[in-house]
């Protein structure tokens, strides 16, 4: 049985959605495969994204919207939810901006019921709030109750309007303590100068996981000196399309000096548990579903199933 490969950090957006950040994304577009996924007008197409994932050996991808028009870019949750309906390979994620909503818990329940939501992404550095702000607690309570992972940006950003203080990893400590069953994912693992803090949280809290989007995987043993002791808490994310190469990052994980089963855990085994994907739901090497499976989401949403390819 093959462990699925899961990218938990893939930005779905047409060229127009990137707005002011398009020049940054464009600098990677030739190598990242971005142009393979859009039509002649720069509109992203589900069947083209699916083909890219298939080519790169990715069984599932969490597709991220983002509601940060002044700092990064703007892609609505509903656009991503609709996009995800085209393939069981796509898992819908919601970006929730606490400055735009009052009833955060109710919103999460609605997204689960209506769209089979699989995870929540919070972007404190881009939307300027502290993730341990009590305004967010109803959201965490519902996510904990429903088994939905919450992914929170930690670490630095190069975007001009970002405020780095909101990305301090230890802000997640409050949340991990107050919601001990909440699956909490430290996106970027404290990138740049907070790796130690993020790693400590992963060691300290059973419910904290470390996501590696935007980091060159070959550098993990350098960034985290005790990396080998915590491989079961690291999960693969790419940050595509703002990165050089999807298949290159996967190859770097496969080349890490750790046992193959630990590489599998990073590339998808651990994320499969977090996202409620049955370990039997995977694509065969020849890209046909090996068997029909109906891995139900932990939140009772849509079946992860096998890919439709
Ligand atoms: Zn990202």
27 alpha carbon – ligand 1 mean position (Å)? 15
123 alpha carbon – ligand 1 mean position (Å)? 9
239 alpha carbon – ligand 1 mean position (Å)? 4
Closest to 124 (Cα-Cα) out of 112, 136, 107: 136
10 alpha carbon – ligand 1 mean position (Å)? 7
pLDDT tens digits for range 199-255: 999 999 999 999 999 999 999 999 999 999 999 999 999 999 999 999 999 999 999
The domain tally of the chain equals 1
pLDDT tens digits for range 67-104: 998 898 999 999 999 999 999 999 999 999 999 999 99
Q: How far apart are CA 210 and CA 10, in angstroms?
A: 16
Does residue 95 contact residue 67 with C-beta atoms inside 8 Å? Answer: yes
Mean pLDDT computed over every residue of the chain: 91
Position 279 scores a pLDDT of 53
Cβ atoms within 10 A of the Cβ of 294, count?
11
308 alpha carbon – ligand 1 mean position (Å)? 26
21 alpha carbon – ligand 1 mean position (Å)? 12
Residue 304: inside a domain: no
291 alpha carbon – ligand 1 mean position (Å)? 33
pLDDT tens digits for range 166-182: 999 999 999 999 999 99
237 alpha carbon – ligand 1 mean position (Å)? 9
Q: How far apart are CA 266 and CA 210, in angstroms?
A: 10
171 alpha carbon – ligand 1 mean position (Å)? 19
Instruction: Calculate mean pLDDT across residues 20-40.
Output: 96
Please check the confidence at residue 306 and state whether its pLDDT lies above 50.
no
Residue 134: inside a domain: yes
pLDDT band at 290 (very low <50, low <70, confident <90, very high): very low
271 alpha carbon – ligand 1 mean position (Å)? 17
- Residue 43: CATH number of its domain: 3.20.20.140
Residue 10: inside a domain: yes
pLDDT tens digits for range 114-144: 999 999 999 999 999 999 999 999 999 999 9
Q: Which residue has the tokens 């892609």?
A: 75
213 alpha carbon – ligand 1 mean position (Å)? 7
Residue 280: inside a domain: no
121 alpha carbon – ligand 1 mean position (Å)? 10
Cα–chain center distance at 280: 21
143 alpha carbon – ligand 1 mean position (Å)? 21
Residue 289: inside a domain: no
303 alpha carbon – ligand 1 mean position (Å)? 25
Please check the confidence at residue 303 and state whether its pLDDT lies above 80.
no
pLDDT band at 301 (very low <50, low <70, confident <90, very high): very low
11 alpha carbon – ligand 1 mean position (Å)? 7
Q: How far apart are CA 135 and CA 291, in angstroms?
A: 44
Residue 261: inside a domain: yes
Calculate ∠ Cα 65-5-265, nearest 5°.
Answer: 110
Position 299 scores a pLDDT of 42
Q: Write down the pTM of the prediction.
A: 0.91
178 alpha carbon – ligand 1 mean position (Å)? 26
Residue 187: inside a domain: yes
Beta strands 6-11 and 90-95, pairing class: unpaired
Task: Quote the domain boundaries for residue 187.
Answer: 6-274
Instruction: Estimate the share of the chain in helix, then strand, then coil, as percent rounded to the nearest 5.
Output: 40, 15, 40
Instruction: Calculate mean pLDDT across residues 139-152.
Output: 98
Residue 150: inside a domain: yes
């Amino acid at each position: 049985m093959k462990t699925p490969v899961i990218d938990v950090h893939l930005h779905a957006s047409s060229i127009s959605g990137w707005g002011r950040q398009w020049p940054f994304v464009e600098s990677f577009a030739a190598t990242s495969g971005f142009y393979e996924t859009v039509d002649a007008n720069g509109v992203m197409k589900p069947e083209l994204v699916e083909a890219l994932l298939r080519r790169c050996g990715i069984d599932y991808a969490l597709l991220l919207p983002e509601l940060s028009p002044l700092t990064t870019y703007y892609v609505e949750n509903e656009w991503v939810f609709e996009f995800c309906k085209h393939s069981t390979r796509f898992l819908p994620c919601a970006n929730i901006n606490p400055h735009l909503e009052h009833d955060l818990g109710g919103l999460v329940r609605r997204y689960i019921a209506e769209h089979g939501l699989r995870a929540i992404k919070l972007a404190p550095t881009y939307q300027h709030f502290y993730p341990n702000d009590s305004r967010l607690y109803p959201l965490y309570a519902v996510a904990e109750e429903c088994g939905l992972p919450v992914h929170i940006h930690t670490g630095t950003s190069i975007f001009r309007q970002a405020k780095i203080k909101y990305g301090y990893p230890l802000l997640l400590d409050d949340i991990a303590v107050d919601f001990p069953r909440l699956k909490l994912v430290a996106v970027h693992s404290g990138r740049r100068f907070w790796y130690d803090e993020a790693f400590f949280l992963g060691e300290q809290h059973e419910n904290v996981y470390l996501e590696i989007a935007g980091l060159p995987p070959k550098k993990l043993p350098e960034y985290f000196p005790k990396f080998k002791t915590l491989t079961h808490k690291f999960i693969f994310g790419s940050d595509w399309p703002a990165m050089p190469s999807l298949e290159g990052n996967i190859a770097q994980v496969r080349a890490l000096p750790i046992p193959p089963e630990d590489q599998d855990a990073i590339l998808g085994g651990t994320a499969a548990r977090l996202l409620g994907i049955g370990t039997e739901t995977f694509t065969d090497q020849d890209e046909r579903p090996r068997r029909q499976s109906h891995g139900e989401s932990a939140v009772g949403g849509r079946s992860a199933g096998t890919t439709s390819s």
